[in-house]
Homo-oligomer: A and B are copies of this chain.
Amino acid sequence: MSKFIRVNMTTKEVTISAVPDKYQGIAGRALTSNFIADEVPATCHPLGKNNKIIFAPGFLTGTNAANSGRISVGSKSPLTGTIKESNSGGTFSQKMAKMGIKAIAIEGMPADDKFYVLKITIDGLTIEEAPADIMGIGNYKAIELLNAKYGSHVGMALVGPAGEHRLPTANISFKDPESNIRSAGRGGLGAVLGSKKIKALIIEDTNAPGVAIQDPDKFKAAAKVFAKALISHPVSGQALPAYGTDVLVNILNEAGGLPTKNFTAGRADWHEAISGETMNANIKERGGDGKVSHGCHAGCIIHCSQWYPDKKGKYITSGFEYETVWALGADACIKDLDEIAYIDREMDDIGVDSIDVSVAIAVAMAGGLLPLGDGKAALDAVKQIAVPTPLGRILGGGAEIVGKLCGSFRVPTVKGQAIPAYDPRAVKGVGLTYATTPMGADHTAGYSVATNILKVGGFVDPLKKEGQIELSRNLQIATAAVDSTGCCLFIAFAVLDIPEAFEALIDMINAQYGLALTGDDVTALGKSILKVERAFNQAAGIGSAHDRLPEFFEYEPLPPHNTTWDFTPEEIDEVFNF
């Protein structure tokens, strides 16, 4: 990848240059985090002209390495105030990579009130006024209209009404291969794009040269081993394709770590109603548009996504994830999977992080702002985010703000971002990740659930403190590296359990770039990314004192195990002692 594109939205100037030397050897999260740390003043306002936002494919994106089509988006987050990398599937990243575009970095902001579309082709990048008919409408319809205008073959990143209004949970939506929606969900990066008055980026890869491979034979061999490992692992080869990520409802419920009724219990009596098994049965039974498994980008062989249809078989939503189902189903006590599906669709359509808004709904219910467990009331409230009404703005503000406006101290957030679907009192390794990742509470930043619950990469007792610090640290380091490859995080199950998978991953990168990286190099890369991110946060005023879970986890035991969060500050600070 040889081109580095800069777009200045103040001057409307576009610069396409060679990749700066310091970004030559990095990609994905490594590139986005270094770029933001290099160029964005840590104390700037996330929605002001001094913030920047950058899109970058990973090392392997655009090749036929399995599951390598993710896009990393980096910026200073309006939700957390931290540096942020949020990644997504869809078709955008592979097209960028095949066109030789290492990154698209956007800076400045227009003085006028118009919204724009950035169109990227092999000839360059043009800034066009956004067509009036795509403004203020849902993402599904906007994608349809943009397909009609630009051709359905183009890749697309866009913001919905939430991003136009720069709400703190606004996400960036990416078109998937069937013109449905994937999201760089967390941290409000859609609000940053909205602040720069960008409604959409359109990418057309006609005449793209494709990705060069230095040693095609070696690459091909490694890619085969890699793909085989993914398929052979029980999580990525069996559980995820069959039940999607929602397979975790029953698993976490059994483990007593399924946060229920705003984190007051670790099990939900009604877990079966919202489980992956029920989702699977509904899809099979209803037929029609339903698909049990589906990939979010070309080359995905795990297919954890699905198309979830209504009772008549009509498509409601896809990428219907465990974390969303958990938040609405267990945490907000909405016991009907169809009601949850409609809310999920609405969140995708409006363009908000379905984790933060769903946790916000649970906090709002606990705080008396919405009726507990009422899916219809929740759906109506979510729809209001698009207007936005005052209630819509509150929910679009995310769980932290909802908690403040409900006068609550039981607000499950870290650094302003909602804690997802694994209770830190019963899955202690992931609790350390929530507390310490530079991203704000984020399970994907160091998914200790794998080892605590799924027994992938060994086993560390989820209820005890022993071994968790090292586990969270090592997974955060590995994840930062994986997030730089362009690979889906779900390759990690195989990489952790099957030595050949890890070797194949490194072999593919070496074969593509003509390098001789070792496992140590990968670890060093992961560490360097985390250090850069953490230094940015510290300069932004977010340091160790913010690496803490909400206090109520320390003194409210979680049924059924009745464990509390019992790491000392000193122990927590050990996670980043490397």
Query: Footprint of B on A, CB under 8 Å?
Result: 42-50, 78, 165-168, 191, 194-195, 369, 389-391, 393-394, 396-397, 401, 404-409, 411, 538-546, 548, 550-552, 555
Contact = CB atoms under 8 A, between A and B. Distances in A.
Nearest to A395: B390
Given A397-B401, A401-B404, A541-B541, 18 more contacts: A42-B545, A44-B551, A45-B550, A47-B408, A48-B551, A166-B408, A167-B405, A167-B407, A168-B404, A168-B405, A195-B407, A195-B409, A389-B390, A390-B391, A393-B394, A397-B404, A541-B543, A541-B546
29 contacts: A42-B545, A43-B548, A43-B551, A45-B411, A45-B550, A47-B407, A47-B409, A48-B551, A78-B404, A166-B407, A195-B407, A195-B409, A389-B390, A390-B391, A390-B394, A393-B394, A393-B405, A394-B394, A394-B405, A396-B405, A397-B404, A397-B405, A401-B404, A538-B545, A539-B545, A541-B542, A541-B543, A541-B545, A543-B543
Most buried by B among A44, A405, A543: A405
Contacts of A166: 406-408
A575 to B, nearest CB: 17
A550 B46 CA distance: 11
A18 B191 CA distance: 55
A31 to B, nearest CB: 25
Contacts of A78: 404
Contacts of A543: 541, 543
Nearest to A42: B545
B405 A401 contact: yes
B45 A409 contact: yes
Interface hub of A407, A539, A543 (most chain B Cβ within 10 A):
A407
A357 to B, nearest CB: 13
Nearest to A552: B48
A566 to B, nearest CB: 15
Contact of A407 (B191, B411, B541, B552): B191
Contacts of A551: 43-45, 48, 50
Contacts of A401: 397, 401, 404-405
A132 to B, nearest CB: 19
Contacts of A50: 551
Sorted nearest first, the 6 A-B pairs with minimum C-beta distance are A166-B407, A541-B545, A390-B390, A390-B391, A48-B409, A45-B409
Main SS of chain A's interface residues?
loop
B405 A545 contact: no
A541 B82 CA distance: 14
A166 to B, nearest CB: 3
A555 B543 CA distance: 27
Contacts of A396: 405
A552 B390 contact: no
Contacts of A389: 390
B390 A369 contact: yes
A364 to B, nearest CB: 10
Contacts of A548: 43
A307 B550 CA distance: 45
Contacts of A44: 551
A43 B415 CA distance: 12
Contacts of A47: 407-409
Nearest to A411: B45
A191 B405 CA distance: 11
Contacts of A397: 401, 404-405
Contacts of A42: 545
Contacts of A407: 47, 165-167, 191, 194-195
Nearest to A392: B390
Contact of A552 (B45, B168, B404): B45
Nearest to A168: B404
Contacts of A539: 545
A540 B547 CA distance: 11
Contacts of A46: 409
A262 to B, nearest CB: 15
A551 B42 CA distance: 11
A191 B45 CA distance: 28
Contacts of A546: 541
A529 to B, nearest CB: 22
Contacts of A49: 555
Nearest to A401: B401
Contact of A540 (B404, B408, B545): B545
A496 B42 CA distance: 39
Contacts of A391: 390
Contacts of A369: 390, 393
A397 B393 CA distance: 13
B408 A545 contact: no
A403 to B, nearest CB: 9
Contacts of A191: 407
A194 to B, nearest CB: 7
